[in-house]
């Protein structure tokens, strides 16, 4: 589990960089905290995109991971815990390289969107395939 210390609202999202392979499942657990206390995600939806060039407004999304498509799964909402979940078949569609990402938290009935986490995901080319 990766503990992420969330910055105060209105401050830049917390940077978390990590490396994954494109021939394996991605199953990475996160726990959001602020001031040492859990940041509840009860009732919130989470959404993230990986982009090779985040400055290109028309740039392609390498993959979108969200609560809606079950690639982000809450595991203990009151404790701010969630799982990034992608199968090996799905990760194999992502080219090796570095991708910028951020994670947005929101509630459908509220106009506020919180950018909680951001960073670089390095996708390594898996060696063993098919």
Q: Using CA atoms of 116, 101, 19, 65 in order, give the dihedral in degrees to the nearest 10.
A: 90
CATH architecture for the domain at 2-124: Sandwich (2.60)
Q: How confident is the model at residue 92, as a pLDDT?
A: 96
For the chain, what are the domain ranges?
2-124
How far apart are alpha carbons 22 and 68 in whole angstroms? 22
* Low pLDDT (below 70) residues in the chain: 10
The pLDDT of residue 109 is: 86
Distance CA 84, CA 32 (A): 13
pLDDT of residue 10: 65
3-state secondary structure at position 127: coil
Phi, psi angles (nearest 5°) of residue 119: 160, -160
Q: In whole angstroms, what separates CA 41 from the centre of its chain?
A: 14
């Amino acid at each position: 589990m990766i503990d992420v210390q969330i910055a105060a609202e209105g401050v830049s999202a917390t940077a978390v960089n990590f490396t994954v392979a494109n021939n394996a499942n991605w199953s990475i657990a996160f726990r959001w905290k602020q001031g040492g206390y859990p940041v509840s995600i009860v009732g919130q939806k989470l959404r993230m995109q990986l982009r090779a060039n985040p400055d290109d407004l028309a740039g392609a999304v390498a993959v979108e991971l969200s609560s809606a498509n079950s690639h982000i799964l809450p595991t203990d909402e009151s404790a701010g815990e969630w799982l990034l979940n992608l199968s090996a078949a799905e990760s194999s569609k992502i080219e090796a390289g570095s991708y910028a990402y951020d994670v947005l938290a929101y509630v459908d009935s509220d106009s506020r969107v919180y950018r909680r986490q951001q960073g670089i995901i390095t996708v390594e080319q898996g060696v063993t395939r098919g």
